């Protein structure tokens, strides 16, 4: 069975996605399956130069809502009709965080969706494909597989419970080229799956709710994988991958052991609470030059979003990083529920004060906060005009600082793609061919009635039914939910075997 593993984003992004490497390795480890890569904007597979129409199964790995527009284009480039009700040929499946959260906007284009992590379910899907004469016409035969969503049927998320048994690709693909567009965005590094899930409970973070509980790969396993992986790939750098990699319970030991093996070590971002001088020292020994942290907003709004970091902690960690010779990049969010003009003024003062610690060594990125499904913000709307005014106001206050401001229009489109239903498919298809007026996106961006049924009501990610509403009310009342790893389990999930241990 020939499978096209598609990534609707540039090659540099695809090759820095551990999830994409996992799919490729997992499928090619089967004796009856041959998997090839097709990565936008390339029209044919890298392995044999085949178009999409030549494959038995087409699989999309999707990490970003903005990539939805490239999916109809990839169908057309591959000789297939974008809409599933007009298409003949291969079975089309899709997975990834956006899909697990809310597959409805893509339901006009995709035959079935993987809800959760791939390893527990992908073998069953491939086996079922081989058993059927025409998987697309017999799509109902997939409805009984846990972790599969066929439009309009209930689906339940699946995850790997023991990370030592997860797929850890050792022979990762190594691009050998002078073309910078084909160089992975994380550089020439081996991708190491340290952990999955996060238990911090930041109320705006989709992946923090989708993939609970937090699960860790054992230290010994990580060292063995790193040794084998760097030998197989020829890389001398390891990138630690996880929703909260710096929260790994033995992070200092892991970094020091990797550095002692002669390897450079990096992490895409660090949780401020997890940053210690020992960790920074290990990362510096491993070649780290820039540390990335996310204060998000003012202290008052951080508490509302259930990210209780004090300003003093932000300053302390920033000063220490700068003293140790690191550059510091900081992520902020704009548009948190209840955010006032005074909050924006305080945010600007915070950014100026952080910049003053060491001019030219601290930079900032400010992006609109996007309400996401399966988070306590899922009932919130998105006002693009108001967001534009807020970004302009903050921009004036931080003029002269190294600040990158996100797009209010881009935030609007991302919000609609995140929280829309099947009706969004028509906008996606039109946008893949030409522009869609802002007012048409705005028509789908309003707040949702907390008593009304949500478009993704058929997707269960394992959370207790009333938990998100409890968190929504707590947010409105400015009440915190303590971190369960310090305060004990507060019962957010229907079942949580890892926490019971």
* Encoded tokens for 266: 């990096």
The residues near 467 (Cβ < 8 Å, ≥ 6 apart) are: 491, 492, 493
Residue 148 has pLDDT above 80, yes or no: yes
Give the separation between CA 113 and CA 152, rounded to whole angstroms.
12
* Residues forming a β-bridge with 365: 331, 404
Together in a domain, 96 and 237: no
Mean pLDDT along residues 75-86? 97
Mean pLDDT along residues 231-241? 96
Residue 501 has pLDDT above 60, yes or no: no
Together in a domain, 126 and 172: no
* DSSP assignment of 110-169: -SEEE-B-SHHHHHHHHHHHHH-S-TTTTGGGGTTSTTEE-TTS-EE-B--S-GGGS---
* Biggest CA pair distance of the chain: 67
Q: Answer whether 39's CB lies under 8 Å from 92's CB.
A: no
Together in a domain, 134 and 259: no
Mean pLDDT along residues 265-274? 88
The mean of the pLDDT values for the chain is 95
Give the separation between CA 16 and CA 10, rounded to whole angstroms.
10
Together in a domain, 12 and 137: yes
Q: In this structure, is residue 52 part of a structural domain?
A: yes
Together in a domain, 183 and 282: yes
Helix axes 219-233, 251-260, angle to 10 degrees: 30
Mean pLDDT along residues 170-199? 92
269-273, 347-351, 362-366, 378-382: least confidently modelled range: 269-273
Q: In this structure, is residue 10 part of a structural domain?
A: yes
CA distances from 184 to 109, 195, 196, 263, 455 (A): 28, 21, 22, 18, 35
Residue 286 has pLDDT above 90, yes or no: no
At residue 488 the predicted structure's pLDDT band, cuts being 50, 70 and 90, is confident
Residue 486 has pLDDT above 90, yes or no: no
What stretches of 315-472 adopt beta strand conformation (E)?
327-334, 362-368, 403-405, 459-460
Q: In this structure, is residue 246 part of a structural domain?
A: yes
Residue 399 has pLDDT above 50, yes or no: yes
Q: Which of 288, 305, 339 is the last residue of a domain?
A: 288
Q: What is the pLDDT of residue 153?
A: 94
Q: In this structure, is residue 243 part of a structural domain?
A: yes
Can you give the residue range of the structural domain that contains 258?
159-288
* Residues forming a β-bridge with 368: 334
* Encoded tokens for 202: 């930041």
Q: What is the pLDDT of residue 499?
A: 41
Mean pLDDT along residues 440-449? 97
Q: In this structure, is residue 319 part of a structural domain?
A: no
Together in a domain, 126 and 86: yes
| Apex 198 CA angle, 409 and 209, nearest 5 | 55
SS3 assignment, position 84: helix
Give the separation between CA 95 and CA 106, rounded to whole angstroms.
11
Q: Which of 235, 259, 288 is the last residue of a domain?
A: 288
Q: Which of 129, 156, 183 is the last residue of a domain?
A: 156
Q: In this structure, is residue 276 part of a structural domain?
A: yes
* Encoded tokens for 184: 């992975």
Give the burial string for 275-314 (b: 16+ CB within 10 Å, else e): beeebbbbbbebebeebbbbbbbbbbbbbbbbbbbeeeeb
Give the separation between CA 498 and CA 162, rounded to whole angstroms.
9
Together in a domain, 10 and 148: yes
Give the separation between CA 324 and CA 361, rounded to whole angstroms.
12
Mean pLDDT along residues 408-416? 98
Give 55's Cβ-side CA count (13 Å radius): 29
173-183 pLDDT, tens per residue? 998 888 888 88
Mean pLDDT along residues 482-490? 84
**Which residue would you say has higher pLDDT here, 47 or 178?**
47
Together in a domain, 152 and 167: no
448-457 pLDDT, tens per residue? 999 999 999 9
Q: Answer whether 105's CB lies under 8 Å from 455's CB.
A: no
Per 3-state DSSP, what percentage of the chain is helix, strand, and coil (rounded to 5)?
40, 15, 45
Q: What is the pLDDT of residue 181?
A: 85
Residue 464 has pLDDT above 80, yes or no: yes
Give the separation between CA 402 and CA 314, rounded to whole angstroms.
18
Q: Answer whether 272's CB lies under 8 Å from 313's CB.
A: yes
57-61, 268-272, 276-280: least confidently modelled range: 268-272
Q: What is the pLDDT of residue 500?
A: 35
276-280, 324-328, 418-422, 452-456: least confidently modelled range: 276-280
Q: How many CB atoms lie within 10 A of CB 392?
A: 12
CA distances from 79 to 13, 43, 61, 89, 432 (A): 24, 10, 19, 10, 16
Together in a domain, 124 and 224: no
Displacement of CA 471 from its chain's centroid (Å): 22
Domain count, the chain: 2
95-106 pLDDT, tens per residue? 999 999 999 999
Q: Which helix (H) or strand (E) holds 128?
A: helix 119-131
Q: What is the pLDDT of residue 496?
A: 56
Percentage of the residues of the chain whose pLDDT score is greater than 70: 99
Mean pLDDT along residues 216-237? 97
SS3 assignment, position 357: helix
Q: What is the pTM of this model?
A: 0.94
Together in a domain, 138 and 19: yes
Residue 144 has pLDDT above 60, yes or no: yes
Q: What is the pLDDT of residue 269?
A: 82
Q: What is the CATH number of the domain that holds 230?
A: 3.30.750.210
Together in a domain, 144 and 216: no
Q: In this structure, is residue 442 part of a structural domain?
A: no
Q: Answer whether 471's CB lies under 8 Å from 376's CB.
A: yes
Q: What is the pLDDT of residue 411?
A: 98
Residue 495 has pLDDT above 70, yes or no: no
Give the separation between CA 201 and CA 205, rounded to whole angstroms.
8
Q: How many CB atoms lie within 10 A of CB 34?
A: 15
Q: What is the CA radius of gyration of the chain?
A: 22
Together in a domain, 149 and 181: no
């Amino acid at each position: 069975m020939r499978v096209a593993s598609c990534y609707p984003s540039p090659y540099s992004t695809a090759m820095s996605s551990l999830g994409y490497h996992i799919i490729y390795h997992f499928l090619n480890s089967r004796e009856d399956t041959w998997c090839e890569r097709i990565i936008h904007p390339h029209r044919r597979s890298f392995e044999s130069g085949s178009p999409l129409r030549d494959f038995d199964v087409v699989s999309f790995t999707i990490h970003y809502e903005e990539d939805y527009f490239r999916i109809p284009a990839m169908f057309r480039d591959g000789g297939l009709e974008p809409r599933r009700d007009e298409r003949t040929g291969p079975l089309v499946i899709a997975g990834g965080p956006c899909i697990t959260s809310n597959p409805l906007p893509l339901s006009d284009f995709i035959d079935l969706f993987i809800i959760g992590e791939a390893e527990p379910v992908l073998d069953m899907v491939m086996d079922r494909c081989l058993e059927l004469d025409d998987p697309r016409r017999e799509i109902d035969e997939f409805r009984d597989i846990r972790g599969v969503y066929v439009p309009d049927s209930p689906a339940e998320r699946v995850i790997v419970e023991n990370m030592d048994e997860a797929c850890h690709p050792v022979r990762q693909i190594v691009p050998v080229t002078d073309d910078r567009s084909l160089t992975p965005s994380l550089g020439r590094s081996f991708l190491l799956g340290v952990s999955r899930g996060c238990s911090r409970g930041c109320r705006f973070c989709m992946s923090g709710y989708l993939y609970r509980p937090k699960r860790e790969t054992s230290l010994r396993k990580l060292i063995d994988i790193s040794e084998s992986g760097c030998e197989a790939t020829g890389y001398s750098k390891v990138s630690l991958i996880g929703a909260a990699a710096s929260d790994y319970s033995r992070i200092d030991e892991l970094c020091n052991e990797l550095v002692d093996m002669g390897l450079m070590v990096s992490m895409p971002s660090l949780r401020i609470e997890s940053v210690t001088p020992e960790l920074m020292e290990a990362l510096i020994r491993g070649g780290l030059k820039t540390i990335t942290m996310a204060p998000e907003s003012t202290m008052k709004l951080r508490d509302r979003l259930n990210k209780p970091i004090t300003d003093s902690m932000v300053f302390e960690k920033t000063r220490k990083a700068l003293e140790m010779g690191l550059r510091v990049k900081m992520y902020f969010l704009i548009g948190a529920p209840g955010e006032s003009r005074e909050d924006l003024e305080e945010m600007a003062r915070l950014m100026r004060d952080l910049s003053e610690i060491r001019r030219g060594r601290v930079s900032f990125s400010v992006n609109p906060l996007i309400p996401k499904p399966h988070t306590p913000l899922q009932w919130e709307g998105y006002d693009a005009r108001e967001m534009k005014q807020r970004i302009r106001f903050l921009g004036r206050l931080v003029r002269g600082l190294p600040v990158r401001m996100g797009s209010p229009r881009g935030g609007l489109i991302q919000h609609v793609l995140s929280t829309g239903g099947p009706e969004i498919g028509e906008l996606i298809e039109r946008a893949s061919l030409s522009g869609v007026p802002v007012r048409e996106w705005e028509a789908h961006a309003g707040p949702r009635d907390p008593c009304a049924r949500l478009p993704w009501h058929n997707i269960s990610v394992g959370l207790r039914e009333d938990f998100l509403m409890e968190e929504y009310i707590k947010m409105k009342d400015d009440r915190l939910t303590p971190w369960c790893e310090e305060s004990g389990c507060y019962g957010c999930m229907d079942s949580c075997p890892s926490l019971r241990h």
